[in-house]
Amino acid sequence: MSEKIDQGSAAGEISRPLAGVKVLELGRLFAAPFATQLLADMGADVIKVERPGHGDEFRHYAPRPVKDAVGAASVESSNYRSVNRNKRSLTVDIGQPDGQRIVRDLARRSDIMVENFKVGALKKYGLDYDSIRALNQDIIYLSVTGFGQNGPYAGRPGADAIFQAMSGLMSLTGEPDRLPQRIGVVVSDLITGLYAANALVMALRAREVLQAGGQHIDMALMDCSVAAVAPAALEYFTSGAVPQRLGPRAFGSAPSEIFRCVDGLLQVQATADPQFHRLCDVVELPELKSDERFATRMNRYQHVEALAAALNARFGSGTMMHWYEKLVAADIMCAPVYSIDQTFEDPQVKHRQMRVDLDRDGVDQVSVIANPIRFGGKPVESYRPPPFLGRDTDEVLASELGLGEREIEQLRQKGVV
């Protein structure tokens, strides 16, 4: 169970606020492992339980083959690496009674247990919330599913694209005259992981400060995806009008869109009147300021096609960097439309050290994205690479459960670990 850790007197210097918190993860794929990775970044000890010989399905799910340090094909995907740093990997076959006993024994010593199996799937193993709570009444038990623990769809499987579609996110994404588009990352999983990590920290505080005890947290990707469309939903609730796709444009404001330059694309946001007037001066179209069609934010939005045509003609006469530097100098919000490789060459991204390169057991190099949280201006500085499958099995069984080498070897021979 968690223990009080001396983090120093200055609150701004706290960089590992969850040190001493023990997390047992039966998480797979993205949302649940992302939530526990956030806790691990903050100092929590996360033990990830995986199937012997196979591991989390995400280890093998990648858009293209991953190469190791010497260029050979790797069995581990970039997807897995993106949500599993700072954890320990323990292989356990929960289908065997001895495997179930190991998980239960670890749960007795844990503050948090996280799982994302189908509703009710862990009950037959004695690893569901009621079974674990009987062993540890203070456990905070998080279940992540597609549709939640109850309701007419509770038993259905789901994936990110399903929830983008059903939540309305997809209906808002893409060009108005084309099919709805899926957002280019697993945004439903990302949002759910963020909500889940917040919920776990809140439950810890409720338990340890308010003496509320343990509890079961029910997180659904569908719920979190619906929550993400709040601005559009509130527009619908208020006006009765169903929001439509606008491509790169912003609802109710203009200009806010992508302009094509000679050699690249530039996103420009100059919707407030002072910004718009400065934009007109920068692109040497002062007549737009006195044009009644563009006199106010709403007027500009109502005549957005005419405004876009005038601005596109001007931006198309120069390079992206030419206009970018001029707009920045005029304090107008704008940005190059980067590809991913260009993002990590940007001076600001480099300065903030958003890419972290890690050596993994002297076998290969793994690059991860830094946690963006900074306490007192200090970034997270402690990163351990995503673990090889079962890397920490012997250590966990020995240090957490007190098993000796002989007992561990017997479990391994039986295929339990």
Distance CA 23, CA 124 (A): 22
The dihedral through the CA atoms of 387, 388, 391, 393 has a sign that is: positive
Angle of the 97-108 helix axis to the 393-401 helix axis, nearest 10:
60
The answer, yes or no, to whether the previous bond of 17 is cis (omega within 30 of 0) is no
End-to-end CA distance of the chain: 24
CA–CA separation, 165 and 288 (whole Å): 39
Residues 139, 112 contacting (CB under 8 angstroms):
yes
Residue 189 annotated as catalytic: yes
Neighbours of 127 (CB within 10 A): 23
Q: Which of 189, 218, 223, 364 is catalytic?
A: 189
User: How far is residue 227's CA from residue 195's CA, in Å, rounded to a whole number?
Assistant: 10
DSSP 3-state assignment of 274? helix
Collapsed DSSP state (helix, strand, coil) of residue 40: helix
Strand pairing class (374-375; 378-379): antiparallel
What does the alpha-carbon distance between residue 310 and residue 312 come to, in Å, rounded to a whole number?
Answer: 6
Give the span between the Cα atoms of 48 and 55, in whole angstroms. 10
The secondary structure of 159-175 as a DSSP string is -HHHHHHHHSTGGGSS-
Question: Phi and psi for 177 in degrees, rounded to 5?
Answer: -100, 15
Contacts of 383 (CB under 8 A, 6+ apart): 41, 85, 86, 356, 358, 368, 370
Residue type, 353: Q
Report helix angle 320-329 to 273-282, nearest 10. 130
- Give yes or no for a contact between 21 and 111, defined as CB atoms under 8 angstroms apart: yes
Compute CA distances 67 → 74, 83, 268, 331, 366, whole Å: 5, 18, 38, 43, 11
> What residues are annotated to the active site?
189
